[in-house]
Amino acid sequence: MVLKAGDKFPEGVKFGWAPILDEDPTVCGIPQLYDANKEWAGKKVVIVAVPGAFTPSCSAYHLPPYVQKFDELKSKGVDIVAFIANNDEFVLNGWGKVNRVPKGDDFLMLADNKTFFSENYGWQAGPNKGDRTGRWAMIVEKDGSISYAENEAKLQDVEVSSVEACSLAQGLCSLVPNKTVSQAIRLAADAVVRRKVQLECKKLRKKFNSIQSRA
Catalytic residues: 58
**Does an H or E element contain 65, and which?**
helix 63-68
- Greatest Cα pair distance, the chain, in angstroms, is 81
In a 3-state reduction of DSSP, which class is residue 47? strand
Number of neighbouring beta carbons within 10 Å of residue 212: 8
| Spatial CA neighbour of 110 closest among 56, 27, 3, 33 | 33
Q: Alpha-carbon distance 35 to 165, whole Å?
A: 27
